[in-house]
Amino acid sequence: MKYLIIFFISLSILFANDNYELKLYEKIIPSIFKHKVYVYVDKKSEELLKNSDKFLIVDNCNNADILIGKYFDNLEDSCKNKPYFSTSYKSYKNNKNSFGAFYWRKGRPQIKFREEIIKKQNLTLPDSFSKYIR
C-alpha cells in the first residue's frame, strides 16, 4: 500500500513536471518563431512535445525550425547551425551553439540563454526571459 501511494505520488509529480516543462516550451519557442514551430527532437522531448498543438515534430532535421533535446547522434551537418535548445546542463555546456536550455537541478527548474548565440542566430526572446540571458 505504501509503495502504491509513493508510486502514484511520483507519477503525479512526473506528469506535473512534464506539464510545467511543456508550458515553458510553449511559452518560449513559439514566441521566437511567431508561427507553428517545426521541431526536431530526441526521444524524451518527443514524448513531451507530441501532445502540444504548437509544435509539429519532424523526422528530418532539415525541415525543422529548431532542435530540442539532450543529444542528437549522427546529426547532419546542414542541421548543426540550426537553433538548438538543450534539455540538460551538460549538453548546454558542451554544445556552444545551443542558444538556451531548460533542465532540472536540485529539484529546481533552470533556464539559461546565451546572449551571443541568440544574437548570432537572430532570435528574439520575450522580455520576461531576458533575466535569464548570460
Q: Is 121 exposed, middle or buried (0-12, 13-18, 19+ CB in 10 A)?
A: middle
Residue 11 touches another protein, criterion: CB under 8 A: no
Q: Which is nearer to another protein, 24 or 57 (CB)?
A: 24
Query: If binding is defined by CB under 8 A, does position 4 make contact with another protein?
Result: no
Nearer to another protein by Cβ, of 39 and 48: the residue is 48
# residues contacting another protein (CB under 8 A) = 19
40/85 with CB nearer another protein: 85
The correct pick among 9, 71, 78, 119 for binding another protein (CB under 8 A) is: 9
**Cβ of residue 94: shortest distance to another protein, in angstroms?**
11
Q: Does 108 bind another protein (CB under 8 A)?
A: yes
The answer to the question of residue 16 lying near another protein (CB under 8 A) is: yes
Sign of CA dihedral 31, 49, 45, 7: positive
Q: Which residues bind another protein (CB under 8 A)?
A: 9, 12-13, 16-17, 20, 89, 93, 105-112, 131-132, 134
